[in-house]
Amino acid sequence: MRVSATVVQSEPRPSTPAPQAPRFERVAVTSVFGDPRSPRTWSGAPSNVISGLERLGISVEGIWPKLTRWQKLRLAAGQILAGYGRPITSEQIIRGRGAREIRARQLAAAVERLGVRHVLHLGTLDLPALDLLRGVKHYLYCDQTWALSMRYRPDRNSYTAKAVEEYERLERDSLRGLDHVFTFGAYVRDNIVEHYGVSPERVTTVGSGMGNVEPYFGPKEYGQAKLLFVAKHLFKAKGGALLVDAFLRAHRRRPDLTLTIVGDERSRHFVPSHTGIVFRAHLPWLELQQLYRTASLLTQPMLNDPWGQVYLEALVSRTPVLGLNRNGLPEITEGGRHGFLVDEADPQALADAILAAVENPRRLAEMGMSGQRHALNTYSWNRVAERIAYR
């Protein structure tokens, strides 16, 4: 089925007029994952928030608290001696109390040197704050909590009971001292209020924006059963191995199915040689954008991704999405209006869902249209910045 769209959407406007006085006129934005002004840091969320705040006339300082290699080695050794188990990922090192305190001290020193009175954290790993008594106000913009991550994280069995308890306590301490919390999704807000006991008045869902994929309004073919999977890293955690298994099962019943996998070179050895599978690495941005436009379905069964920027990139390309019924995807698809939700991370269930989705090109086209409207009208970094900046 080949369809086209001609309606052009503009940047969504705020649903209500912004108040006159912003929450702050100058703020520091901090991220432990890299330079917050770099578009490579945390899928570009920090840099997009900064740009949105600056468009509102707010002055922004970027801070990147770092750990040296030797600090990480000492912290890892300390965790083993304390009974937290041997860290198998860097996250297990930086999530501990010692790493948080080092970064919190760095942050407090930078804030004092810059003379900033407001700090927006992109994640809790440089919290709890150490300068609350000096009158500095701290805010958080997050896509997940520790408790939510433990529901589905693939490495949860590598955490000792002592480590799980300690990280839960640190999460509570981090949330307790914040002036306000902003979340990507409503389900994260609900968890912060219900599980962590933060007052509902101090937690606001502000959503997210989208990546650089341009909306596509041209002709689109939905009848060719062209599947797409995009994971720049963490192939297994993004559901790549699960999808390959499901695709092979589905392909036996529908041989015209094709799957394009976009990943990094480390992912290549997970992908079998198969006539229906194409693996692409180091893909230029315009080629990736074209793949979104020509795909009839994004198949992205992410095991524990809290939100999923790829879902929004697909939706603005009028490509419906298929993934697991967990974390942010039900919210992004409005309960399945713009995609397909699979209840279990099971290859046969996923294969059945893929076959059911592609057998109805008209439904895919309708989902593509409704999904694009929803994405363009709902997700905007300008809107995120406005909701953070104004009370």
Give the per-residue pLDDT at 10.
Answer: 40
In the predicted model, what is the mean pLDDT of residues 87-116?
91
Give the per-residue pLDDT at 89.
Answer: 75
Give the per-residue pLDDT at 157.
Answer: 85
In the predicted model, what is the mean pLDDT of residues 184-196?
98
Q: Is the CB of residue 235 less than 8 Å from the CB of residue 268?
A: no
CA dihedral of residues 282, 287, 289, 293 (deg, nearest 10)? -130
The CA distance from 315 to 324, in Å, is 16
The CA distance from 200 to 219, in Å, is 45
Residue-wise pLDDT tens digits, 352-365: 999 999 999 999 99
Give the per-residue pLDDT at 1.
Answer: 61
For domain 8-211+380-389, the CATH class is: alpha beta
Classify burial at 33, counting beta carbons within 10 Å of its beta carbon; exposed 0-12, middle 13-18, buried 19 or more. middle
pTM over 0.85: yes
Give the per-residue pLDDT at 7.
Answer: 36
Nearest in space to 205 (alpha carbons), one of 341, 370, 387: 387
Give the per-residue pLDDT at 198.
Answer: 98
Percent of the chain with pLDDT over 70: 95
Nearest in space to 196 (alpha carbons), one of 169, 165, 224: 169
Same fold, 8-211+380-389 and 220-378: yes
Instruction: Look at residue 319 and tell me whether its pLDDT is greater than 60.
Output: yes
Give the per-residue pLDDT at 232.
Answer: 85
**What mean pLDDT, rounded, does the chain reach?**
92
Q: Is the CB of residue 201 less than 8 Å from the CB of residue 349?
A: no
In the predicted model, what is the mean pLDDT of residues 146-150?
96
Give the per-residue pLDDT at 20.
Answer: 67
In the predicted model, what is the mean pLDDT of residues 324-334?
97
Q: Is the CB of residue 204 less than 8 Å from the CB of residue 189?
A: yes
Give the per-residue pLDDT at 19.
Answer: 53
Question: Collapsing DSSP states into helix, strand and coil, what is residue 322?
Answer: strand
Q: Is the CB of residue 228 less than 8 Å from the CB of residue 314?
A: yes
Instruction: Look at residue 222 and tell me whether its pLDDT is greater than 90.
Output: yes
Domain spans in the chain, listed from the N-terminal domain onward: 8-211+380-389, 220-378
For domain 220-378, the CATH class is: alpha beta
Give the per-residue pLDDT at 9.
Answer: 40
Instruction: Look at residue 282 and tell me whether its pLDDT is greater than 50.
Output: yes
Give the per-residue pLDDT at 4.
Answer: 47
Q: Is the CB of residue 253 less than 8 Å from the CB of residue 321?
A: no
Q: Bridge partners of 263?
A: 281
